A and B are shown apart, each in its own frame.
Chain A
Amino acid sequence: MVALCESRTKAPTVARCCLVAVLAGGCFDVEQRDANLAIEPFLVDDFESGTGVPPDGRFERWQCFRFNPNTTDGLDCYFERRDEDDQALVMDFNVTDVEDGVQQFAGAGVSTSAGAATIDFSGYRQLVFSAILEGGAPALPAGTLFYVELACSSVPLENPNVGGDRLVNLGVGVSGATWSSYELSLTSFGQPAWHTNHLVGGAPACLRAVDSIALSVSPNLMDGMAAAGKLHLDDIFFE
Chain B
Amino acid sequence: MANCSGKMLGLFCVLTLVAGCSDSEPAAPTGGEVDERSYTKIDDMEGTTGVIGWAPPHGSPGFWYSFADQQCEKLRPTPSFLEGSEDWSYAEVPEPYETLAGVTSRQAARLRTVAPIVDSWGAGLRFHLSLPTGSGPPGPPYECTPESLTARDIEMNAMPVDLTMYTGISFWARTESNATGKKLTMGLHDRHTHAAGGICNPTPGTLDACYNAFQVTLPLTDEFEHYVLNFSELTQNPTWGYQEPSGTMDLSQIYEAIFDVNTPGGGCSGVCPGEPTLEFDIWIDDLYFVDR
Contacts and interface: CB of A to CB of B under 8 A. Distances in A.
Contact of A79 (B237, B264, B265, B274): B274
B266 interface: yes
Nearest to B262: A60
A181 interface: no
A64 B273 contact: yes
Nearest to B266: A60
Interface in A43-76: 47, 50-54, 59-65, 72, 75-76
Nearest to B264: A53
B271 A52 contact: no
B243 to A, nearest CB: 11
Identify which of A52, A65, A89, A116 gathers the most chain B CB atoms within 10 Å of its CB.
A52
A63 B271 contact: yes
B235 to A, nearest CB: 7
Interface in B246-292: 264-276
Contact of A116 (B239, B269, B274): B239
Contacts, number: 64
Chain A interface extent, by class: 20 to 34
B271 A116 contact: no
A77 interface: yes
A52 B238 contact: no
Nearest to A65: B270
B273 A116 contact: no
B270 A63 contact: yes
B272 A52 contact: yes
Contacts of B265: 51-54, 59-61
B268 A116 contact: no
A42 interface: no
A63 B272 contact: yes
Interface of B: 235, 237-239, 264-276
Interface of A: 47, 50-54, 59-65, 72, 75-79, 89-90, 113, 115-116, 153
